[in-house]
Structures are given as C-alpha cells and as structure tokens.
Amino acid sequence: MSMSFSSYTVPISDSFTGRPVSLCPSARKISVPVTAIYSFPANNFPSVIDGRLVHYGGAANFCRRFCGLKLWILESLNLRQHNRKSGQANEFKSLKIQDKDELTDHLETTLPDEKASAINLPNDSIEEPVKTHSQPEQNSLHNSQSDVFTKVTAPMEFASSLLQTHASNFAVQGGSTPSLCIAVIGATGELARRKIFPALFALYYSGFLPENVGIFGYSRKNLTDDDLRSIIGSTLTCRIDHQQNCGDKMDAFLSRTYYINGGYDNRIGMSKLNARMEQVEGESESNRIFYLSVPQEALLDVASCLADNAQTRKGWNRIIIEKPFGFDAPSSCQLTQSLLSKFEEKQIYRIDHLLGRNLIENLTVLRFSNLVFEPLWSRTYIRSVQVILSEDLGIQKGRYFDGYGIIRDIVHSHILQTIALLAMEPPISLDGEDIRNEKVKALRSIQKLGLGDVILGQYKASSEDKVDVYVNNLTPTFFAAALYIDNARWDGVPFLINAGMGLIKHRVEIRIQFRHVPGNIYRECIGHNINLATNELILRDAPDEAILVKVNNKIPGLGLQLDASELNMLYKEKYNVEVPDSYEHLLLDVIDGDNHLFMRSDELAAAWNILTPVLHEIDNNNIVPELYELGGRGPVGAYYLWAKHGVRWLDD
C-alpha cells in the first residue's frame, strides 16, 4: 500500500500499519493504523507558534500527538518538493539536512504539567541511508517513573532514517538521575580545606560531577552550613584555561554543600549524617562516597560507626582512606582485618595523592603502547632503575611527619607502587583488578631489605629554619636503598631509591639506565668515562614534566667526536593545558570505580613485608640516621651505596 501527498508518494510496508508503538507512561501498547495518522484531527495537530512546534495536552494524549509529529515531518518533506530544481536524489539529501536543522532549532513539546520543555536533537551531519532497521530508542519523560521506548519502523530510504536520527535524542529534559553524595569526614582540617574541597569543585566545574550532587562536611566543630561554605569558598578557584560562568558555578556548588556537627560520639554523628543525606537524596537511587580525612588513631572508630549508621541501601558505598596505612606489617594487618569486617575490599580506596600524578599514569602507557620500549624492558638491556623523590625547603610536613618518617609516609606507598608499575608483567587488560594482580606479584618478588642496602638520614635544623623541627632523634627524613626483584625479567637489576626532605631542590623523576653497547666501535671517541655515554630514559614529573631520552650523537664539524644529548618532550610546550591536581584525578577514579592506583590489601601486606625488618631495627635503636645539611644533597653514605651496586649517582 502507499500514502499519497500531492505529487510525492511515500511507500509504507503493511507491517508498519499495525506495529505496536509504546510511547505512553503506562504499560499499554497501541496500534496506529495509517488511516488514523492521515485523519489526525486538525484541532489536535501540533501548533506552530513563532517558528516553534508545540504540543499541548496531558500525558494521556502523548501517543496521538507523536503520530501528529510524524505527519508533520512527512508533510514538511512533501511541501519542499515544489522547490525542487534538480534530481530527486539531490532533493532528498537537501531535505534531510534542512529538516534536521529546522527540527533541531524549533521542535518543542508540552508534557503533563502543561509546561513546554525542549526536545534536544543532534546537530551532526547525516549520512545517506543505505539500509534501515528497527532500533529502540530511550526517552526520559518528566515526572515519569518508567522509561519510554519508541520503535519507529518503515522501509523508507529517507524518511525512516530521518525519524530514527531524531528519535535517538528525544530525551525530554528534567528527568531525575541517580544521586551522588560525597561526605568529607574531618571537613575543617587543613587537607580538606586545601585539597579535597577544591578538587571536588574542580570536578563539578568541569562537568564530572552530577548537577544534583550533595557535598557534606562532617567534623566536631559547632558550625552551620553557611560557616562551612565561607571556610571553603575562599579556597575555590576555576580553571585558568576556561573560566566561563565561574561565579555561577561556585555559587551552585556551595549551595549543594552542607555541614553536620558530629560531636564526640561518632555513632550519633553518623546517624545525623545519614539523616541529612537521605533528606537531600529523597527517594531516588543514591550512591555515597566517604572521604576519611582523620588521624590514624581515630580511623577505626570513624569507619566502624560509618559502616553501621551511614551507608545507603539504595546504591553503592565507597570509603577513601588516607596514608599511612598502619605502622608496620602487624599493625597494618590488624587495620585491614578491622576494615574488612565492616566493608568489602571493592569498597575501600587507599589514597596516596602522589600516585595521582600524570607521571605515574603514563608509566603503563609508555611501556605497553610503544614498541620501541617494551622489548627492551628487562635485565637484558636495562642496567639499573632509579626512583628519585627529593623535596626542597619549601615543602612543609609539620608534626604529622614525626613518628612516621619518610619510610611510612612516602616509601611504603608511592615509591613501592611506582616500582611495581615499572616492573610488573603486562596485565591481561586495563581493568583495575588485573593491574593490581600484576603489581602484587612484582611486590612479592622483591627481596626483603637488609641493613647493608639501606641508608637513613635526617636533616639538621634549628628553630631559625622555617621547616619542621619537631622530628625526634630517630625519625628519618632521608631514605636510600637498593632493591632486587627475584624473577626472570629483573634478576640482578638494582632498583635504587632516593627519597628525602629538605634537599637542595625539588625533583621527582625515574631514570632507567641501559647497558653499554657490547663491542662499541666508537669507544675511543666517547671519552674517558663511558658511563657518561650510557643511554637513558628519563621520566620527569618535577620541576618540569618531561620525557627525555639520552642518546649519543656526533658533534658537528671536522673530526669525529661524540656527545651525549637529550631528546626531550616538555609537556608545557607540547600541551597547552592546565594539569589537574592529583586529588582531582584520584577522586574521579573513585567515582568511576577505577581502583588501579589504589592499594589492595594484599599489595599493602606485600609492601610492609619488604620494609618491616628495617623499621624494627629503627624502633630498636639499632640504626642511627646520618645527619645532613638542610638544603644539601643528602647523606654522603648514599653515594657509597650507589657505588657498591655499580651504579653512578646521577644527580643531573
């Protein structure tokens, strides 16, 4: 059969005339015959006001109104036939683009609340249809509890393609979305004010948090919502590279921020937090993230009370825990068992902000997506690996550093996780658990540290120096060590750690030194020190993020003289973008459920097993840290340690 409009005939298959179309909020399906479409009452036809198509009426009439919409589209195509000056094929292509743009700009519909809400249509280019097929499309209706699906099927080479293209974006704005609530426990602390809340706002400003997100601050201080908003408002900034609507976004974010005075009984406090969250969430599906920015001694009580009184039953719950994760292997094991008695492993995210740096994320990319590096990544070609983290005088650790020291604060998590990512075998996928499986294998293969392979140091400071002077006599502020991995890939390759505070400059980098060229025919042209001509791959995070490759080349001019030069890629020159803070990166990973940069319980245990023997020697006063000048290069013993393992100290 066919339908005829003026001089233009559109063929329609018989199957289309009686196909059920589910458009209404109710569960009923209706069959729309062609005669019903053709005889659609004029007084119910959509009106065109000021160039905009508007439907009037309630939800009960929505099905019939959509039929009118289809008729309007077909008649629009028919009317444009009179302006055709070229062949029919060109006419169809032109009409597709024109009608698509017209619908994008002008189509509106009114739903049961009698308010007109816009229907968004794409503005992409439309390919010429080759084959049409039935495709369900999802539509979101205002004040509707069920999704609405429409199936529009017709073997029309052009009209069916146009309808399907628009139907794919027939989402009516205003529908509810799953709620996300983020609670910062310890909201008035320095970490929360300086890092966590600014990172959350940056994600909100960039569109990575839902508009209806709820931000909750929890502490023991007697504050109001406005007090918390005033405290964190001064710390919020917008991106340098795009500051549109900065003030409006900031006001919107602060309006979604609430404060809960937990008092000194966390059970009561967490119940109050839960009640406030439920008030904001309403009846919708809800997910919750709890950031535990609290001291180690308060962690278990807070986590236990949270688990019993503040978890939602309408979605997932995730908790973020700050380092250090215990003091040694036994205390860490006890902490882990206590947490796992209240939470599942997949709910726990142990955060180390240093692991959110772009350098760490780039390790696996460089290794597994570049053929030039992966075949060389073994003892056959690599002579040594150095992981360097030196903080200068501007880094303030405060009283927190006393009692923990650099081993528990930096080496246990950041340094060992970096080595695990460098040394692990290729994971079977980028799934977080697959990457964690390979990391824990690498950590378990590392030999336990002996005292002969460790150098500890502590800077000399006085009250006149603007640095932490609260460290006791045994708290190390410098750590150097040589690690060996007992597996086929890395047997005999030293992984050298150099981590210290109060040094001459701020530097974070990984240096991978390759072996000498066997039988090098240019040996006499290199000079007296062949180590200077060794190839290196340098991954630098600070002071300027860069990837450098050290190679040998001929110096221009007469004669033959070689020089070691660096091929460099500076990020600030290559990418003109603002680099997000590491807390932004890691918080977004928690929201997305990506856990590959967070330590699992077995990774935690494997790392403590490496360091616990040295920590016990320190606690038993069997090791005395070597003093070094504040603002210097660190203990002299570190140079001897490098020489012991046949590696040159690569300062610059």
Question: What gap in Å lies between CA 434 and CA 428, rounded to an integer?
Answer: 6
CA distance linking residue 241 with residue 577, whole number of Å: 7
Rounded (5°) CA angle 323-390-540: 95
d(CA 236, CA 105): 36
Q: What span, in angstroms and rounded, lies between the C-alpha atoms of 171 and 177?
A: 13
Of residues 296, 356, 302, 349, the one with CA closest to residue 324: 296
Burial class (CB in 10 A: 0-12, 13-18, 19+), 18: exposed
**DSSP β-ladder status, 179-185 and 148-150:** unpaired
Spatial distance between the Cα atoms of 542 and 519, rounded to a whole number of angstroms: 36
Catalytic residue among 414, 506, 616, 645: 414
Residues 6+ apart with CB under 8 A from 71: 37, 38, 40, 45
Residues with Cβ within 8 Å of residue 302, at least 6 apart in sequence: 185, 266, 292, 294
Token pair, residue 431, equals 């799934």
Q: Which of 408, 199, 196 is nearest to 292 (CA)?
A: 196
Q: How many CA atoms lie within 13 A of 637 on its CB side?
A: 19
Start-to-end Cα distance in the chain: 82
User: Which tokens go with 106?
Assistant: 């002008």
Is the omega angle on the peptide bond into residue 324 within 30 degrees of 0, that is, cis?
A: yes
Q: What are the E-state strand segments in 268-421?
A: 286-292, 317-322, 348-351, 382-390
> Which one, of 12, 2, 50, lies nearest residue 158 by Cα?
12
Q: H or E stretch including 522?
A: none
Q: φ, ψ for residue 188 (rounded to 5)?
A: -95, 5
Distance CA 35, CA 12 (A): 12
Could you give the 3-state DSSP secondary structure of residue 483? strand
Peptide bond connecting 112 to the previous residue in cis, omega within 30 degrees of 0: no
The DSSP bridge pattern shows strands 317-322 and 478-483 to be unpaired
The whole-angstrom separation of Cα 82 and Cα 281 is: 55
106 catalytic per annotation: no
Q: Is 99 helix (H, G, I), strand (E, B) or coil?
A: helix
For tokens 């959350």, name the residue: 200
| Tokens representing residue 273 in the block | 């937090």
User: Cα–Cα distance between 312 and 287 in angstroms, integer?
Assistant: 7
CA-CA distance, 558 to 555, in Å (whole number)?
A: 9
Closest CA relative to residue 432, chosen from 521, 274, 318, 324: 318
Count other C-beta atoms under 10 Å from residue 629's C-beta: 13
Show which residues are catalytic.
Answer: 414
